[in-house]
Chains A and B, each alone.
Chain A
């Protein structure tokens, strides 16, 4: 089969790999029909996630058709069209039993601090991802769901991570009616978090980024006010000005490890890999939120330490909430929102690129060319 393969920082290619085989009785093999490049894939692509091995196939946002199932699979059969959450999880461990699917303890031998994620380094379990023609889907009775007939495949694809994570991030904010919500980052997850904040009853939604075309999308798609942090002297002061000197009720960090806005922080984290991530957005969140407010973190950070302004967080009495999204928990309600026309996820897709040209897709997304927001990878279905 053809598959995207990592060759080192900023280097990927498509090559022939063996079609994955059933390795566990509850495995399924899925023929991928559509995949996406996620902003967090760029952390791998840039060499930021420890134990990213040459030869790995990335891709944790994908949908497809069941090709083969293991002997203990009961809920799926070959031919089923499925969407697969980016979390790999068992459904019964101490954490899964509490609904913390992204924190499963039974699927990642390499680390206890994170669960299993498709195509996201050995730190997340050493599983190949879906930017390929086929992918192994472990514990197939738990993760994948059959795609409803009425659901557009692009919407199904975006439910596997970006939409679910953005929606989850708004929930982490514990938004109450009339709250002012600031979303840092106008990438796909930030756009969905902003749009979801309205569902929770926000009174104002302000999106911060430095890319003009993404801020335009935030105004159009998420009905948000926008601020370019490059056009103000100090974004925290600007956020205070916007909120009567108090700060926002809720700030959502939808940026994560490669945040811009402070050159030293960015270089030490993203280039020299001396931090788990550039904490610029997180520090802006801590300083930009009001006392007693809530910071929601859905941007991805690496496992190394980061220079976070924890003293300010303590002195302001903040609530810091974060996690990888337990994706499948979001699906029933998100399907209701899509069916009711409250959100059209596929409106954020800007590019479609064949798997054979995926290296160009990564470069396009990484360099933010051609007003790129979300890239879908097609596999010649």
Chain B
């Protein structure tokens, strides 16, 4: 069947027509299915893709470079596939294997590297650039930079996805709509929720005085999805139609409806509501929520079984009151209402009493509900004090819920021991206001444990400051500050420390379901409570609304090429009133026939393997972007990618095993003169190590690299404004020998070990990093504490046995750092350098010390060389 000629069905506005004719909209045209072109020298190609390259460079009159030597090839493969250099031994083994059978040796090596867990670390980082990954918000426009303590889970998800070779269509679907996909296990469900972090980790402008805040988040999500997956920047369409841009404002708001029907869970935003109103986070649970658990309504008063009082009684509390009626055990102040429906209800009241003896060990257990939002008051509520009443120094244990005063305690339990010691210990769980919870505090000597709903929440030493005093009070601190606004029930005091089993039994016997243990929190998205189409915001402003646009995909495709109509026929894409449409959007983007999705990813992979992309604007396949230098090759690779079930590893494998990839970076100068930018790929590009590879290579050379996956993040327990701390934001970075991916990627406060070398800012999609040459790089190598310290570490390891002479040592250092033997000249120069330094440092200490300094200087020198920092 002949394909319809798009030009016979003229539904296109004249300006778009112009853009199509000028090939500005090439990426919207369906893929071609080109056969590998014929070439003059048929012995050259190894893979069909080589034909496309060869045909072009032959017609440009270029001769290809020769094949890279095994020494060059192994380093290139190591760097490109896992971001690390090979060791001297690995180089030697590969060179030997190549002598026997180069093709087989290369295949084995490529397969081994693709199987290495380090592969995900390398390629995951490439995707994190695209995903604008960051562990803090970055400047919000009001000079605040809130931490994202849970963003790292998305990082780990991405690394796993690359290591597992998650098909790219599935990978995108999980990130856009993971929360809407079915899951077989809690683990899988957790993973899918974490994946949606892609939509939540963006940098946001402050909410204060910004009526468009919600749409700013939507805008970030639309831009991230469209730039990352389709290579389309649709930002302009937020405000106006652009006559040369294929995406009209109506299309933008069709997508906007999808994301405004989505709730973004970015978390506490540093507990500073001027930055962003706090949101919940995805709770990652150890086991599936059963249906019952989902139906649990935590704000409703629990229905306790008839034998609950008896069960508590078995533990022989010294004082116990259910509080369904006014208790006789306490003096009651300001609490007027007791009932079996809501127990004690209080806003400013409290309950007071005395212990029978001044026992140093004690326990207290009760149910409570707090009604106050977590940031409304400096401390949300004090629940219990043991210590002298009305003493201004407030000696004793004070159990409370944090508020706005200490942003790291907001909504979390803490125990404070008064103004003399001023010590405080706290928990991690943010407790939702208006939920009923069970608490047990157990003090044994100087150790305090707090159980929340039957789980250990706090377990730390805290000096006891109540002395011989017998006072206790509930629902307020002993100086009457920060009373509880809410309810209390089943309060019990014990003049002994309960065991763990006893403490937990106080929850178990209540008959209340123990909520599944929350093993972590994650940023992400879920369906909003209200699903609705979006009105056009005239000039992007919420104040001026135009007509409503039905939620949907980008319609422009059908106009540009009628063959794209098939993209919209799929029944799975229909939206109904009950869903945001994210899953349908993901399905639409990942259709095999989508003209851009596969091309964009293939182009990204090519870029990372060649240093130059086929479309040199990898995030912009639109009218302002570059045109492909090899359009047929792009379509050929995209088709293969789709045909191999969107396997990224298989795509990389095919390219890495091509003749083109394995060319030398060295070429005839005449060829370089014809093609200085290497548009034709008739040679390989020489490339500088990027920030992460440089640091990792230094650590590896100095035998300091910890190859295990990093765990968590330096800020995973800190909901703070990173630039408003007593310490400098740079102090948040902890020393680490893990791979650089695991360093804390705070926006606008990146780790000093990486920041000199063109890191992306994490604010917008960045498929390609800048490569600058600045004196700052030289200064980093000459002076940075990192390089100096690593060089010192390496020098310490140099064999010191008596039979090892300087020559052996120089060999050893060269092998370690440059993976080769020194030449005779280099050996002489190195030894001369070391001896000269030892001598010139005569005033600096004894010979041993001077030797260490001199050899350290040699190690640093080799790390500083271009040979170390550039990959051929």
Asked whether A and B interact, the reply is no
Chain B interfacial positions (CB closer than 8 Å to A): none
